[in-house]
Amino acid sequence: MRALITNDDGIDSPGLLALARGAVAHGWTTVVAAPARESSGTSAGLTAAEDDRRVQVARRELPGLPDVPAYAVAAHPGFIALVASQGAFGDPPDVVLSGVNRGANVGRAVLHSGTVGAALTAAINGARAMAVSLDVGLDLDVPHHWDTAVAVAAGLFDRLAALPVGSVLNVNVPNRPEAGAPRRAGLAEFGAVRTRIKDSDDGSITLAAVVVEDELAPGTDAALLAEGRATVTPLRSVAEDPDLDVR
């Protein structure tokens, strides 16, 4: 299998490096292409073209992975997944792994995630895809157990490779030294953390992340993750709704 590793935290993210190492250790032919700078919250968006309609790409060498081609791309992860499917970084990937994201991606808010957006874009362009996120909460100063997230994801690699083209798995892992096999979970209506308007003075809007006090629906990705369990949620990418009557 040929694997593309991307993310929305940027090319220098330790989570990206950990996931690339996991793909190499699994025996997959691995290429890394990630945003040159953080692109969180970009969903499946495409960056605007430069004046000459070119997006800058710079070769990089990742620590401990000298034989893995790596590229810093001045673009959002959705754009990277799209052009990868068209051969921008060599042969189109069979699998796209997006992450490991710093922070959970659960509930319906996955719509806005650049991590998940890259996976969904890859899926509609001929690949199987997995988004992987580590639930570090709001305290970013705590130790980040990237290897735990990679271990959980790697346990699903063969299953992902056997799924039909267009399949997407969204994996969330608690931030602890070890985590068991992920449990299948439904999408929550909301996660444990939500974005609220903090200020809207002087013609600008400031957002803040706040902890939600409402009870999380049992069996959902948000609830299981809050209990310290890893989760996996199959996602459906863009598709028509045959049950909606518009006559």
Q: Residue 211 pLDDT > 80, yes or no?
A: no
Report the half-sphere exposure of 207 (CA within 13 A, side-chain side): 6
Question: Residue 190 in contact with residue 108, Cβ under 8 Å?
Answer: yes
- Nearest Cα to Cα of residue 174 among 101, 131, 231: 231
Split at pLDDT 50, 70, 90, the class of 28 is: very high
Evaluate whether residue 200 is within a structural domain: no
Evaluate whether residue 223 is within a structural domain: yes
Evaluate whether residue 131 is within a structural domain: yes
- Residue 62, domain extent: 2-187+217-235
Which of 76-85, 200-209, 228-237 bottoms out in mean pLDDT, i.e. has the lowest?
A: 200-209
H-state helical runs in 103-244: 114-123, 146-154, 157-162, 221-226
Q: What is the pLDDT of residues 95-122, one digit of tens each?
A: 999 999 999 999 998 998 999 999 999 9
Q: What is the pTM of this model?
A: 0.90
Distance of CA 193 to the CA centre of its chain: 17
Evaluate whether residue 15 is within a structural domain: yes
**Domain total in the chain:** 1
Q: From residue 61, how far is each of 66, 69, 100 by CA, in Å?
A: 6, 7, 18
Split at pLDDT 50, 70, 90, the class of 164 is: very high
Domain at 183, CATH number: 3.40.1210.10
Evaluate whether residue 201 is within a structural domain: no
Evaluate whether residue 95 is within a structural domain: yes
Query: What's residue 49's pLDDT?
Result: 57
Pick 201 or 165 by higher pLDDT.
Answer: 165
Burial class from Cβ neighbours inside 10 Å (0-12, 13-18, 19+) for residue 126 reads middle
DSSP-derived 3-state class of residue 123 = helix
Q: What number is the average pLDDT over the span 39-68? A: 84
Split at pLDDT 50, 70, 90, the class of 201 is: low
Q: What is the pLDDT of residues 36-49, one digit of tens each?
A: 988 888 888 887 65
Query: What's residue 137's pLDDT?
Result: 82
Containing 168, the helix (H) or strand (E) segment is strand 168-174
Q: What is the pLDDT of residues 165-181, one digit of tens each?
A: 999 999 999 999 999 99
Q: What is the pLDDT of residues 65-101, one digit of tens each?
A: 999 999 999 999 999 999 999 999 999 999 999 999 9
The whole-angstrom separation of Cα 27 and Cα 77 is 24
Evaluate whether residue 102 is within a structural domain: yes
